[in-house]
Amino acid sequence: MSCSEVSFSKVRAERGVGRYIQAMLKRLKLQDNRIALHLIFWSAFLAFLFTISLLRSNAGREVDFHLPFELLHIALTILVVYLNLRVLIPRLYEQGKYPLYGVVLLSTVVINAFIIVAIIRFFPDFKPPNIMHNRPSYIFSIPMIFMQLFMVGVTSALHFMRANLILQKEALSHKDLESSKLKAELDSLKAQVNPHFLFNSLNNIYSHSLLESPQTPELILKLSGLLNHIIYECEDEEVPLEKEMEFLTNYLALEKVRIDESVQVNLKMEVADTSTQIAPLLFVPLIENAFKHGVNISAGNPFINIELTQCENHLTFSCSNLRDHFEGDPKSSGGIGLENVRKRLDLIYPGKHQFEIKDDGNQFIVDLSISVGEGSS
């Protein structure tokens, strides 16, 4: 191994160690933040108990705040709370075992309260002075039970709120990821359309230039307009339907010049609102497929019928051509075209389109229906 390779490997190793250390520091920082939040929460709980005692004192009642007892109370309450958060909720509540969860939780709280009573009975230093004079120890377990249930309820609510926020954040992150993935896939699919169409159009113009046809300049001008639509206007996710109609008209003009005059090409467009927004370049691959398989027919009168109609928010496109009996399956030999359209429809109009291919042996028909605009659900 050369010196340069050794140096490169050393640099890569150092970078890997550096990234690992950064990740660990970030994790420790997050862990420290969580610990700090928990400490603040329980300190606030202790302050709350002390404040309650002061309010009782101001009301003329005996102060029952006794620091050793309160620390014991908080310690055992913390035990119940984290047992609930770390064990009972994941293993019982989130598994749908609600009755068992309730029984185990209540039993734990009651046992914990009586543990407190037992401790203050056998260790007098933990016993608040007013218990000795006002009430027996076992009665003191009742408020302990309610206080611990209250803390369990509060911390459980915070736990579920945090979990819900995390789920929402993950859902938004997943949605952003899906949107980025969708845009990348759509860009890839559109990129497949462009070279395919350009290749066919240049072939048409090249054929006319060889014949020194006077139509060549006009064809070049039409191709320029089509490329302008593809390169610039189709950068948007949607374009006005008027632009797509103009594109189809010019596209057919380019195709007609290369085919035999005996092939009948019929275009019918009945659109009420030409400003309707639609995904660009959906129809061209379908028409390309028709010209590919419907013009070089060995028998019969070849034709290509194209129809685009709009009824309120529903757009319908149909393309049919005569089927050559000696040719293979157009659906399988259509290549990029039909599969491209199918994928784009699934990505852009999920649940809002119908795409059907029919082959009766004589005709090959492609029907497409899309719900567009407002109220298209």
Question: So what's the pLDDT on residue 237?
Answer: 83
Q: Is residue 317 pLDDT above 90, yes or no?
A: yes
Q: Is residue 186 pLDDT above 70, yes or no?
A: no
Q: Of 366 and 205, which is predicted with more confidence? A: 366
Question: So what's the pLDDT on residue 193?
Answer: 57
**Cβ(280)–Cβ(228) below 8 Å:** no
Average pLDDT score, the chain: 77
Question: So what's the pLDDT on residue 139?
Answer: 55
**Cβ(230)–Cβ(194) below 8 Å:** yes
Question: So what's the pLDDT on residue 245?
Answer: 92
Question: So what's the pLDDT on residue 369?
Answer: 95
Averaged pLDDT for residues 331-350? 74
Q: Is residue 227 pLDDT above 70, yes or no?
A: yes
The 10s digit of each residue's pLDDT in 104-154 is: 988 888 888 788 778 777 777 766 665 545 555 555 567 777 878 888 888
Q: Is residue 377 pLDDT above 50, yes or no?
A: no
Q: Give 8's pLDDT tier (boundaries 50, 70, 90).
A: very low
Q: Which two tokens stand for residue 341?
A: 């359209």
Regarding the domain delimited by 260-371, which CATH topology (the fold level of the hierarchy) does it fall under?
Answer: Heat Shock Protein 90 (3.30.565)
Pick the closest to residue 245 from 217, 215, 284 (CA basis): 284
Question: So what's the pLDDT on residue 5?
Answer: 47
Sequence ranges of the chain with CATH classification 3.30.565.10: 260-371
As a whole number of angstroms, the distance between CA 78 and CA 88 comes to 14
Q: Give 24's pLDDT tier (boundaries 50, 70, 90).
A: low
The 10s digit of each residue's pLDDT in 77-94 is: 888 888 988 899 889 888
Q: Of 18 and 34, which is predicted with more confidence? A: 34
As a whole number of angstroms, the distance between CA 278 and CA 255 comes to 24
Averaged pLDDT for residues 337-343? 80
Q: Give 61's pLDDT tier (boundaries 50, 70, 90).
A: low
The 10s digit of each residue's pLDDT in 346-369 is: 888 989 999 999 888 788 899 999
Question: So what's the pLDDT on residue 6?
Answer: 43
Q: Using a cut of 0.75, tell me whether the model's pTM lies above it.
A: no
Q: Is residue 13 pLDDT above 60, yes or no?
A: no
Q: Is residue 334 pLDDT above 90, yes or no?
A: no
Question: So what's the pLDDT on residue 148?
Answer: 81
Name residue 367's beta-bridge partners: 318, 356
Question: So what's the pLDDT on residue 320?
Answer: 93
Averaged pLDDT for residues 160-168? 86
Close Cβ partners of 230 (under 8 Å, ≥ 6 residues apart): 193, 194, 197, 281
Question: So what's the pLDDT on residue 270?
Answer: 93
Close Cβ partners of 287 (under 8 Å, ≥ 6 residues apart): 248, 251, 252, 255, 304, 306, 319
Q: Residue 246's CB: how many other CB atoms inside 10 A? A: 15
How much of the chain exceeds pLDDT 90, in percent? Answer: 14
